[in-house]
Structure 1
């Protein structure tokens, strides 16, 4: 093998720990020796009901897959303006909200600049900051997973440029109190609120989240996705609501054809099927409450209340990773994190009633 040229790789990349994604379903099924239909997949917060029929029909009937997609997402942003109540000029679409996290950080972070991270939370904020050569000021959450506001204020005084706040938080499921957000918005920071799960916190109506604050705080930006509520995780489509001063610069660095023809077609069709999709969201929320009640009956699990489509559980009296693997060997997939703050926890996505029943039966089996 040809040796790497000295000095070619940026040192912050060479030292970066790779992000650990979920193993693909077909790969894990082959590893376990189980057919895919036997797998109960509750490890990635996906929508168990899949896309709306209208979205599947749009994928089938779109005739322009041989043409590059609209780089300005014109029709999709117009539809999103109706859904969010925000002007299309404030909306930027991405290949999932992940791409928008990356764009924001590439725009504002010079090597050595800092962001504030409040773990346990979504790992991409820290990961993308590292790619940019940024520093991460870690402000751990309190034992109940609420934000440590005084510590955040002290971190902001150290010159941090941005803070990312998932609302509801992933993987803990707790909402972001309005009073906490308002206090953080007074800091000299770009405050990015990631509302990937907002539809599950506000079931049955168009989500507001923190969007009503956009006209009052020029340092507020918001991220959302079609992956969860609309069941389009495999198509990778998300969007952000940004202040005008920020979105003008983001347009400059966005890849021109970043959201595929298929993703745009399916997302537009999903926005035309909002009532149907929100009924599914309500079904998931109802199943979340049923699952929470049943998880409380297992003496080795302490579930935490959730406003999202998953439930975090502290594992008591046994090894959390071993529990995860025991479930996996029986075809039930849940999430375990190899991090100090979450080593003793598992996260369970909310599935269909049949998937919940399979999970509960398997938990009963491994508890004996």
Structure 2
């Protein structure tokens, strides 16, 4: 048996479940609302930059992501040495865990939150401490503080929280970090920050020397999910450690070109984000109108807490040509897609009652 060569931890490791492809419903209706992707196609300028970069595909990309770091640093107003790039914000988290955690360390997370957290934590040899969400599907910050032990190395906060949607305010984050008081590194996963009305000012905290790391991505608001580019903002000492653990040449040549072109076209991209936010708010209001108890979402999705009915509900959406994301016996997540997709989602959701 070749399994003797494998790490024993893998036997109990949950597998990450990606969003399933869109089914085909009546009349050929087919919408994928399961992966929180931006529904808009790439801007022409971004496509042109990628095409130009592909002409050099026989060469390795810049391993240091020099131009990407320069453009991102200028956009955020941070120093170059405060940034570390990887294959999506989840990739950067994997590198951060490798750089900080050893066997037996504890990492506190809210649950339910991003499915990749327990996997990444266990692969680093650490132990995930999963603290249930509070009423309204929000992070129970007091309970997370109470879970800190001498073995706690890191606390991950997801804001807006995936898959439920609520966000943590700046004041609440500041109070939380002050109470942690350096006992653990606070990592703020901000993959959906561009969709939030009033996100915490994490960069301000990092510049002030607060032990906080921000994780961000170009997959969601910037529409580069297929290129998988994310980054961390941190104190230079943390950022250099993340860069040390990163896979060499992890960010491809066309992906780097797409990031730079997207930052140059940021106004048009963020105009699209504003439309998605407006559509999200309409979706939340409509779901509530038909009778669902939907938590406030500051991301590009809505959460239906359906409990044990989740599996059946996912199949109901699928039969109508809509693929949504189910989460065990907790609920399902609906990505904000095209207007007609959102309207159909409300119609299907109404039948669940």
The interval holding the TM-score normalised by the smaller chain is over 0.9
Aligned twin of 1:194:
189
Structure 1 residue runs of 5 or longer lacking an equivalent are none
In structure 1, distance between residues paired with 2:231 and 2:41: 19
- CA drift of 1:262 comes to 1.1
Instruction: Report the number of matched residues.
Output: 349
Contact (CA 8 Å) 2:232, 2:239: kept in 1 or not?
no
Deviation at 1:253, TM superposition (A): 1.8
In structure 1, distance between residues paired with 2:12 and 2:309: 30
Shift of 1:269: 0.4
User: Counterpart in 2 of 1:223?
Assistant: 215
Q: Does 1:357 align with 2:343?
A: yes
CA offsets, 1:327-357, max 9 Å, x none?
112211111101xxxx242211111212222
**Structure 1 segment 1-368 matched on structure 2, within 5 A:** 3-4=1-2, 6=4, 8-23=5-20, 25=21, 29=23, 38-62=29-53, 63-186=55-178, 187=180, 188-202=183-197, 209-299=201-291, 301-315=292-306, 319-338=309-328, 343-363=329-349, 366-367=351-352
Distance 1:139 1:208, change over 3 A: closer
- Is contact 1:40–1:358 with CA below 8 Å preserved after alignment? no
Offset, 1:112: 1.1
TM-score (norm 2): 0.92
Q: What do you get for the CA RMSD once the two structures are aligned?
A: 2.1
Change (3 A) 1:222 1:47: same
Tell me the secondary structure at the aligned position of residue 147 of structure 1: coil
The Cα shift of 1:5 comes to: 5.9
Which is bigger in relative contact order (C-alpha 8 A, separation at least 6)?
2
Offset of residue 238 of structure 1: 0.8
Q: Distance in 1 between matches of 2:41 and 2:223?
A: 5
Runs of 4+ in structure 1 displaced over 6 angstroms?
none
